[in-house]
């Protein structure tokens, strides 16, 4: 059996990211996803893909509304009743996991174009009940295992790693500064699908002036609302195609790993290390990193473990989730869209390497190594 060439991401778009209850609060999850699916398919057709046959739609999602959201979104996008869909929940890694599932299907020999990414609408997610009691999230681990809330886990990680309040504030401020500069220089425009009158991420710069004054979320702690990401609405989608159709990002290798569920924030570090080993490259050979910034302490812990400087200009060069927002099921796809803009849209030469990664609740990490092909 012949080995298929690596699939290529040939188009990538996203919505603006908006804090729960703000500009996108009136749009249900499929109403966020459908316009992005349509935009990505149109982009793929413009670079030579056959838009008459989409083999599958794969979307990450964490909070509902339940059912097969990817299929609902595909129908809402008018892709045709023949286009199936599958919804994936790998928590904060869901959007990237969906992209990698699309890659795996094509690599195995199915040559159909796939649309993959993620969507989250906490603003419209239903109230969930168990034994008559409302709950905000399902367990990430069973009884007998650590299952901390994500804010508690981020605070604990800061303690374990000795990450100070000052480092966290500086890291969050840097994310906002970079995002504000990118917004001013219009670097998000080509990837954006405006919705509900919003054409930019609405959290950029909001927390930055408040960082020194915000109280800790835990008594005696270092974590604040400014060094934690906003609960956000948003969607991101890419088109994954067989090699040779169009320029883009070839997915060279990827992995999902497990880690201590008590400290889930570190998961991206072993995942990135694993794909670097698999590819036979080191951190210095990567031109662009996009790692989901769930919390400043979490992001710093990952960078420390990878031996990357916290102000490394290759890491979230246009700001990360601390500035842009964190729509959980979509964030893993947002970082892929950002890599596409930073490397493909910017004209980076063939052979340029990038990393997309996320730490995941419950103690996991996910990462992918991509390479520009022209």
What's the maximum distance between 2 C-alpha atoms anywhere in the chain? 62
d(CA 215, CA 225): 8
Tokens of 318: 């246009």
Residues of the chain with pLDDT > 70: what percent? Answer: 99
More reliable by pLDDT, 123 or 53: 123
What separation in angstroms does the CA of 141 have from each of 85, 137, 269?
Answer: 27, 12, 20
Which residues, other chains included, contact 2 with Cβ-Cβ below 8 Å and sequence gap of 6+? none
Residues 6+ apart with CB under 8 A from 194: 15, 16
- pLDDT at res. 2: 52
What whole-number distance in Å separates Cα of residue 356 and Cα of residue 348? 16
pLDDT higher than 90, residue 259? yes
Q: Which pLDDT score is estimated for 3?
A: 60
348-351 long-range Cβ contacts below 8 angstroms, 24+ apart: 348/287, 348/372, 349/374, 350/374
pLDDT, residue 64, reads: 85
Rounding to the nearest 10 degrees, give the CA dihedral for residues 323, 267, 126, 139: -150
Which of 92, 253, 259, 316 is catalytic? The answer is 92
The encoded tokens of residue 115 equal 């649309």
- Would you call 176 a catalytic residue per the annotation? no
Give the tens place of pLDDT for each residue, 114-124. 999 999 999 99
Structural domains in the chain plus CATH codes? 150-186+248-373 (3.40.47.10)
Cβ distance 149 to 56 under 8 Å?
no
pLDDT digit string (tens) for 261-278? 999 999 999 999 999 999
Q: How confident is the model at residue 145 (pLDDT cuts 50, 70, 90)?
A: very high
pLDDT (average), residues 341-345? 98
Summarize pLDDT for 62-84 with one digit per residue, the tens: 998 989 999 999 999 999 999 99
Between CA 89 and CA 95, with CA 92 as vertex, the angle to 5 degrees is 65
Structural contact between residues 117 and 95, judged by C-beta atoms closer than 8 angstroms: yes
In this prediction, residue 130 carries a pLDDT of 81
Measured CA distances, 85 to 57, 172, 197 (Å): 4, 36, 28
Q: How far lies 60's CA from each of 69, 93, 154, 216, in Å?
A: 9, 8, 23, 32
pLDDT tens across 305-326, in order? 999 999 999 999 999 999 999 9
Task: Please say if the pLDDT value at position 1 is more than 80.
Answer: no
* Whether 92 is catalytic: yes
Looking at residue 206, its pLDDT comes to: 85
Q: What is the pLDDT of residue 136?
A: 81
pLDDT digit string, tens, across residues 146-192: 999 999 999 999 999 999 999 999 999 999 999 999 999 999 999 99
Beta-strand runs (E) in the chain? 8-14, 18-19, 54-60, 85-88, 113-120, 128-130, 133-135, 232-241, 248-258, 288-291, 353-360, 364-373
CA distance 92 to 98: 11
Which of 30, 176, 200, 326 is catalytic? The answer is: 326
- Measure the CA–CA gap between 239 and 49, rounded to whole angstroms: 9
Q: Is the dihedral of CA 62, 370, 192, 115 positive or negative?
A: negative
């Amino acid at each position: 059996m012949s080995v298929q060439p690596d699939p290529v991401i040939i188009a990538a778009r996203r919505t603006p990211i908006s804090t729960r209850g703000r500009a996108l609060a009136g749009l249900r999850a499929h109403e966020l996803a459908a316009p992005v699916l349509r935009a990505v398919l149109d982009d793929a057709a413009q670079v030579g893909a056959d838009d008459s046959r989409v083999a599958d739609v794969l979307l990450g999602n964490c909070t509902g509304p339940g059912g097969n959201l990817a299929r609902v979104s595909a129908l809402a996008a008018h892709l045709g009743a023949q286009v199936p869909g599958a919804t994936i929940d790998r928590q904060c890694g869901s959007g990237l996991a969906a992209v990698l599932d699309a890659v795996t299907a094509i690599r195995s020999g199915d040559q159909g174009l796939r649309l993959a990414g993620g969507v989250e609408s906490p603003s419209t997610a239903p109230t969930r009940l168990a034994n008559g009691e409302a709950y905000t999230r399902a367990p990430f681990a069973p009884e007998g295992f650590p299952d901390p809330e994500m804010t508690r886990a981020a605070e604990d990680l800061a303690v374990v790693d000795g990450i100070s309040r000052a480092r966290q504030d500086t890291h969050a401020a840097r994310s906002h500064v970079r995002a504000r500069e990118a917004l001013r220089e219009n670097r998000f425009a080509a990837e954006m699908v405006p919705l509900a009158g919003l054409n930019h991420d609405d959290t950029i710069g909001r927390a930055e002036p408040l960082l020194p004054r915000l109280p800790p979320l835990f008594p005696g702690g270092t974590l604040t609302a400014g060094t934690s990401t906003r609960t956000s609405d948003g969607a991101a989608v890419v088109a994954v195609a067989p090699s040779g159709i169009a320029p883009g990002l070839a997915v060279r290798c990827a992995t999902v790993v497990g880690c201590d569920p008590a400290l889930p924030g570190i998961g991206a570090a072993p995942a990135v290390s694993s794909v670097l080993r698999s590819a036979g490259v080191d951190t210095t050979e990567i031109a662009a990193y996009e790692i989901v910034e769930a919390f400043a302490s979490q992001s710093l812990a990952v960078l420390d473990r990878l031996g990357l400087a916290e102000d490394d200009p290759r890491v979230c060069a246009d700001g990360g989730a601390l500035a842009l927002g964190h729509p959980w099921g979509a964030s893993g796809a947002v970082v892929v869209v950002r890599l596409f803009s930073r490397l493909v849209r910017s004209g980076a030469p063939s052979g340029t390497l990038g990393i997309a990664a996320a730490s995941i609740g419950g103690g996991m990490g996910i990462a992918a190594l991509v390479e520009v092909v022209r």
